[in-house]
Amino acid sequence: MLSPDSFDSILLAPCGIYCGACSGYLRPKNKCPGCRIDSETKPTYCKSCRIANCELLAKTESGFCYDCEKLPCQRLKQLDKRYRTKYNTGLIRNLMIIKEKGLDTFLKLERKKRTCVNCGSIISIHHDNCTACSP
Ligand code: SF4
Ligand code: SF4
Ligand SMILES: [Zn+2]
């Protein structure tokens, strides 16, 4: 079981996804290390992500899309819509919290939101319930 104490800013993707609560990161085999860490096991769709590889992102000081003059660009809007609709997670909203309240506050909020009150495991963004203790 991954401890929620492991919540770390290196696992915050430029688009506002918290990779530490991604099912790709949480799975035991072929684990993705997170958007900001290079690895052989990173899924191709994340390696070739148009947001992570965006040339305007490379010019930002923070390394987050909130720092970009084009925010919200079409690709971020599409991803944000998919995450809001399918996973009840607003990526642009996440980015605004990081921008306005800082990384530490965002991580504290995210830890609270993603920690199972029943067993203490991290609940994946991509699942409605805790896979460690729900049937
Ligand atoms: S699969 Fe993509 S979103 Fe998930 S941890 Fe890896 S880089 Fe992050
Ligand atoms: S918001 Fe800016 S930095 Fe982020 S993907 Fe769009 S154009 Fe690139
Ligand atoms: Zn649980």
Q: Kindly report the number of other CB atoms within 10 A of residue 135's CB atom.
A: 4
CA of 38 from ligand 2 middle (Å) equals 20
Question: Helices marked H in 27-90 — which ranges?
Answer: 44-47, 55-58, 74-87
The pTM for the full model equals 0.92
Mutate to test the pocket of ligand 1, among 25, 45, 87, 125 (most ligand atoms within 8 A of CB): 25
The DSSP symbol for 122 reads B
What is the CA(23)–ligand 1 centre distance, in A?
8
Give the model's pLDDT for residue 1.
Answer: 46
The atom of ligand 1 lying closest to the CA of 25 is 5
pLDDT tens for each residue of 42-83: 889 899 999 999 999 999 999 999 999 999 999 999 999 999
